[in-house]
Structure 1
Amino acid sequence: MAVLVLDAAHVHELLTPGEALHAMREALAALARDEVHQPLRMVVRPPAAAGLMAVMPSYRAGENAAYGLKAVCVFHDNPKIGKDAHQGAVLLFSAATGELQALMNASAITEIRTAAVSAIATDLLARPDAGDLAVLGTGVQARAHLMALAGVRSLRRVRVAGRDPERTRRFAADAEKWVGVPVEPCTSAESAVREADLIVTVTTSAEPVVRREWIADGAHLNAVGSSIPTAREIDTATMAAASLFVDRRESTVNESGDYLFAAREGAIGPDHIRAELGSVLIGAAPGRTDEKEITLFKSLGVAVEDLVAADHLYREAQRRQVGAWVTY
């Protein structure tokens, strides 16, 4: 049979921000309705290796049934050489025969779907008038999140902070062109976060980059950068003070350093998780309850997001005759 191969450019062409929002709503709703079989990701961390590999399988039942598998390597030093930290592939398989249908660039899918899910969380949980955005990080996900959040809230101001002052200045200058509002480069995370009502953390830091005392009442946070148990971006006080929403409970209590550090310190437990985002989306769980509440979405990224994105891309590539078809 013929297998579809999509590179990063194809993925960006076929999975626009608007289409990504639609696809991720579909994925989160399917997860909330128990239409997805999705084991925890398996992570391979050789002691002396430079990076790690994560393997994320999933199955979605129903009319668009399919198997998906993402195999991705994470190399946090890659941005220093101009490469995305995430490198890998998403595979799509027929639910009827098990045949391989497509091989797609995982970096591009991860970039787009992660930001789309954060935009959904922001749309569901942030105050309607929120528009003062702080972005911590200057990499691929910083750009993707800035663009995605601009699609669900009217941004008034953006402040960005990163480890490299010159890179932060360049990012801010470029970002003004992307979103058409003032973007201020900041010399510290604190100066970016104070007074913001939307906060995004997309760093590779192993230690907290956000402190509770910096966060304004009523703010919404998307904590995205840490997806392993040994690293966190959010301090314990913030985790304890915020109403916590997650993409998947099972993943959070096993894989999220932001959650696990705070839990080990006795500040929170499993009951602190208000709801999975999909449950809020389908109306099965409440979201924000008052204007002064701090809401926090802890994003880990789950396999069904990659599966639904790949299924959308496969159908669009067939419809528009995009990509390379290889006999397999």
Structure 2
Amino acid sequence: MSIAFYDAAAVAARLDYRGCIAAVRAAMAALSSAGTAQPLRQIIPLGEGRAFATMPGGLDGPLGFGAKLISVFAEPGEPGRSRHQGLVVAFDPVSGAVVCAADAETVTAIRTACATAAATDALARPDARTLAIFGTGLQAEHHLRAMPLVRSFERIILWGRDAAKATALAARLELELDLPIAPTSDGEAAASAADVICTVTGSPTPVIEGAWVRPGTHVNLVGSSHLGPVEADVALVAAARYIADYRPGALAQGAELAAARAAGLVGDDHVVAEIGEVFAALKPGRRNAAEITLYKSLGHVVQDLAAARYLHQRGPGEAGA
């Protein structure tokens, strides 16, 4: 059996942001419309700063089924940063054969940013013009590339605790994107100026507070993918219209929601919709211009499978853009 394999360089070249946004959007709509129970990710601790995770799943249809297998290891000397190394393996829904395998780290980096962009397109105000990114790692870089594809941002603010890293990333991406990017270490100023906020940090404690966020803002909480680390305080969670990528995942593994529940501010019904339900017009997203909307991204394997199948289906020589 011949299995196509896409290493990190091939994924980066073939998995373009616009195409991935569309693929992820369709996959999440299919996930929510199917009503098929999906297993939650399984995380096996391997010691301090190390874990192994498995994410199986699939849908009846052309997306097929498969799994992501990754190690999550902290980067030495980089507090709060980790690498997600492994494979995404996609299977054919008709024959059951393996379709392809792809480098999971690069797929994850791109599809996560594209999922955020798709959610932002559905939930942010049409006139959103200021974007604030909280974080200076790999996900910050990919979000800076993906987000301007869904809104005409005129101003981008990049927050980081390390001013030197924020300044360096802002300077590099400003040239690439031809957009003004202002680095800052003032979280309150960044959040209060933004129409759209993305948190992509490894912080164990909140980097944004509800008191900083203006009415009408859309917030994407992306950095925390398991119980424990929280990127937003309970006040923001309670004040926002909370939309999950996958409801069972958010209820079981959404750290910010768990903290707000523990504080007695919200219940399970605070998860008003899955983003796929919004995409499929099964439930409303933003209901008015003053509402604070919140998208919680934990990540779902159908996003990885959609990205892998999309890059596999692109014709030879089609480079990403």
TM-score by length of 1: 0.92
Aligned to 1:120: 118
- Sort the Cα spacing of 1:269 and 1:178 in 2 relative to 1 into closer, same or farther, 3 A: farther
Count of residue correspondences: 318
Matched, 1:320 2:316: yes
3-state DSSP class of the match of 1:194? helix
Q: 1:105-164, CA deviations, whole angstroms, 9 ceiling, x for partnerless residues?
A: 001111111111111111111111101111100111111111111001111111111122
Q: What is the aligned counterpart of 1:66 among 64, 67, 85?
A: 64
Q: What is aligned with 1:31?
A: 31
Q: Is residue 43 from structure 1 mapped to residue 43 from structure 2 by the alignment? A: yes
Query: What CA deviation, in whole Å up to 9, does each residue of 1:243-271 have, x standing for no partner?
Result: 11110100000011111111111111111
Q: What is the rounded CA distance, in whole Å, between the counterparts of 1:212 and 1:168 in structure 2?
A: 23
Q: Distance in 1 between matches of 2:265 and 2:211?
A: 16
| Structure 2 counterpart of 1:213 | 211
Matched residue type, 2:181: V
Mapping for residues 228-307 of structure 1, pairs under 5 Å: 228-307=226-305
Alignment partners' CA distance in 2, 1:65 and 1:20: 14
The one-letter amino acid paired with 1:6 is Y
The corresponding residue for 1:200 is 198
Q: Per the alignment, do residues 79 and 85 of structure 1 end up closer, same or farther by CA in structure 2, a change over 3 Å counting?
A: farther
SS of aligned partner of 2:220: strand
Report the equivalent of 1:55: 54
Match of 2:222 in 1: 224
Match of 1:129 in 2: 127
The answer (yes or no) to whether the contact 1:30–1:36 under 8 Å persists in 2 is no
For structure 1, the 5+ residue unaligned runs are 323-328
Instruction: Give the whole-Å Cα distance in 2 for the aligned partners of 1:37 and 1:314.
Output: 26
The alignment partner of 1:233 has SS state of coil
1:18 aligns with 2:18: yes
Superposition RMSD on alpha carbons, in Å? 1.9
C-alpha distance in 2, partners of 1:310/1:187? 36
Partner secondary structure for residue 11 of structure 1: helix
* Superposition map of 1:89-128 within 5 A: 89-128=87-126
Residues 125 and 289, structure 2, Cα contact 8 Å, conserved in 1: yes
User: Aligned equivalents of 2:169 and 2:119: distance in 1?
Assistant: 24
Instruction: Provide the C-alpha distance between the structure 2 equivalents of 1:218 and 1:291, rounded to a whole number of angstroms.
Output: 5
The one-letter code of the counterpart of 1:40 is: L
Q: Normalized against structure 2, the TM-score is what? A: 0.94
User: By how many angstroms is 1:65 displaced?
Assistant: 4.9
Say if 1:209 and 1:76 are closer, same or farther in 2 by CA, change over 3 A: farther
Distance 1:127 1:22 in 2: 19
Task: Summarize the Cα distance change of 1:35–1:104 in structure 2 as closer, same or farther, 3 Å threshold.
Answer: farther
Q: Which residue of structure 2 lines up, in the alignment, with residue 311 of structure 1? A: 309
Secondary structure, counterpart of 1:225 in structure 2? coil
Q: What letter corresponds to residue 123 of structure 2 in structure 1?
A: L
Deviations 1:45-85 (A, max 9, x none): 13x343111100012212x152211011222436839x962
Q: Which residue of structure 2 aligns with residue 325 of structure 1?
A: none
What whole-Å deviation, never above 9, does each CA across 1:263-288 have from its counterpart, x for those lacking one?
Answer: 11111111111210011111110011
Amino-acid identity (%): 38
Structure 2: give runs of 5+ residues left out of the alignment.
Answer: none
- 2:78 counterpart SS class: helix
| Candidates 143, 151, 159, aligned match of 1:153 | 151
CA distance in 2 between partners of 1:153 and 1:247 (Å): 20
Report the CA distance shift for 1:121/1:209 in structure 2 as closer, same or farther (over 3 A): same
Letter in 1 for 2:55: M
